[in-house]
Amino acid sequence: MIMFKYTLIILLLVGFMTKINANNFTTEPQLSTRYSNEISQFWLQGEFSSFNGVNDKRINYAIFNHNKTDVKPANHPNRKCLIISSGRSEGYLKYKELSFDLFNLGFNVFLVDHRGQGISARLLENPHKGYVEDFQYYVDDFARFIEKAVKPYCNVNGESQKPYLLAHSMGGAIAARYLQDYPNNIQAAVLSSPMLGFNSGPIPRVIAESLVKVTNQINQIVSDTPWYFLGQKDYTPKADDPTSFTDNPLMHSELRFQQFIQLYQTEPKLQLGGITVKWLSESITALETLFNNIDKITTPTLVIQAGEDTIVSNEAQHDFCQQLHQHYSYSCPEGKPLVIEGAYHELFFESDVHRDKALTAAIEWFKQY
């Protein structure tokens, strides 16, 4: 009887994991081989270009379009468009595995490097400083990207279709502000570990935010050079640091973490250091605008939360979902984020057990709309 119970439990677990990865996402045991073969070949078929964003800053992007390949996935014949809005310090080169998995589900995939990071134009003499003159510039660049590079591909049988939007961390804040400014342009959105608030530690949030804004004003008065925020510095290589993985707050997958570190070592142009006071002040102002106009987000929106996130505020994500759900019951089901218990911030680079749950939830959300 005991053996029967154990066997039943094992079968249930196997069935659950099979269901979770029913979309055939890349697994950690497959990753090294796929990177060298399938993913590398997939990446070669991309279209890579740029446009001039606000103040003529170069914004780089990548497109993976089924119409230019012989790949014809059977499970998504309509070839939906999917935009990826990445987080702070990221670039589209980091998203090869995710792009590959989504492309193989039938999506045309579009990625953009936000200004000041990735391979887009840097904004200061010191390219390591995380800086933006006005957070709205991120949103305006993103709008130009969608209008110029995405919409022309989103036609099925001569009819224009709205793209889906998958956004992470800072990219989630940019995406949410875009949804407010352009409420009719996106079919459905998923915000992964979105930057909707900051962890201020023992200092009350209102006091911390006021101090940041005052410090930014002082910086602008006494210096032409944007200051790093307290404790922030230039990018520091981690390849030779044996504790870099064990101490990292981003992901549990050592393989994906090492690939991420190696990428930034071999592509120094991707390296970005800490945030400036100006960037933090602009982000705080943008989030105030976001929450003050939350009713303008009419696009069906799902928030996926990393249960053990220490990078952004999970409390702010709960507040966002509660308020958005009150306006539009179809967004943030039950008025809450979907929590991936035990996961760190980088849900799409996490261990398979967390990554598969997050990706499956995103795909199921898109299927609803």
137-179 pLDDT per residue, tens: 999 999 999 999 999 988 766 677 899 999 999 999 999 999 9
Q: Give whole-number Cα distances, 114 to 57, 281, 297, 299, 349, in Å.
A: 10, 18, 21, 22, 19
CB-CB contact of 320 with 291 (8 Å): yes
Contact 239, 262 (CB under 8 A): yes
What does the pLDDT average to over 13-29? 64
What's the Cα-to-Cα distance from 163 to each of 81, 187, 305, 362, rounded to whole Å?
Answer: 5, 6, 23, 14
| Residues 247-270 pLDDT 10s | 899 999 999 999 999 999 999 999
Residue with tokens 């999506």: 107
Asked if residue 297 lies in contact with residue 176, where contact means CB atoms within 8 angstroms, the answer is yes
What digits encode the pLDDT tens for the residues 30-44? 999 999 999 999 999
Label residue 307 by pLDDT band (50, 70, 90). Answer: very high
Q: Using CA atoms, how far apart are residues 230 and 237, in angstroms rounded to an integer?
A: 20
Structure tokens at 127: 């390219």
Report yes or no: 117 and 88 within 8 Å, Cβ to Cβ.
Answer: yes
* Whole-angstrom distance, CA of residue 305 vs CA of residue 314: 7
Residues 6+ apart with CB under 8 A from 208: 198, 200, 201
> Quick one: pLDDT at residue 279?
98
pLDDT of 11 > 70? The answer is no
239 pLDDT band, cuts 50/70/90, is low
Res 64 pLDDT > 90: yes
At residue 79's C-alpha, the angle toward residues 302 and 192, to 5°, is 20
User: How far apart, in whole angstroms, are the C-alpha atoms of residue 15 and residue 362?
Assistant: 20
Dig out the tokens for 180 from the structure. Answer: 């407010």
Strand 164-168 with 189-192, pairing: parallel
Q: Report CA Rg, the chain.
A: 21
- Which residues, other chains included, contact 301 with Cβ-Cβ below 8 Å and sequence gap of 6+? 176, 179, 188, 189, 190, 191, 324, 331, 332
Give me the phi and psi of 173, to 5 degrees please: -65, -45
Structure confidence at residue 78 (pLDDT): 52
Nearest Cα to Cα of residue 20 among 326, 369, 356, 272: 356
pLDDT more than 90, % of the chain: 81
In this structure, what DSSP letter does residue 114 have? -
Prediction pTM value? 0.91
Tokens 């010191």 locate to 126
Across all residues in the chain, what is the average pLDDT?
90
The DSSP annotation for 282-314 comes to: HHHHHHHHHHHTGGG--S-EEEEEETT--SS-H
Q: What is the pLDDT of residue 65?
A: 93
Task: Calculate mean pLDDT across residues 109-120.
Answer: 98
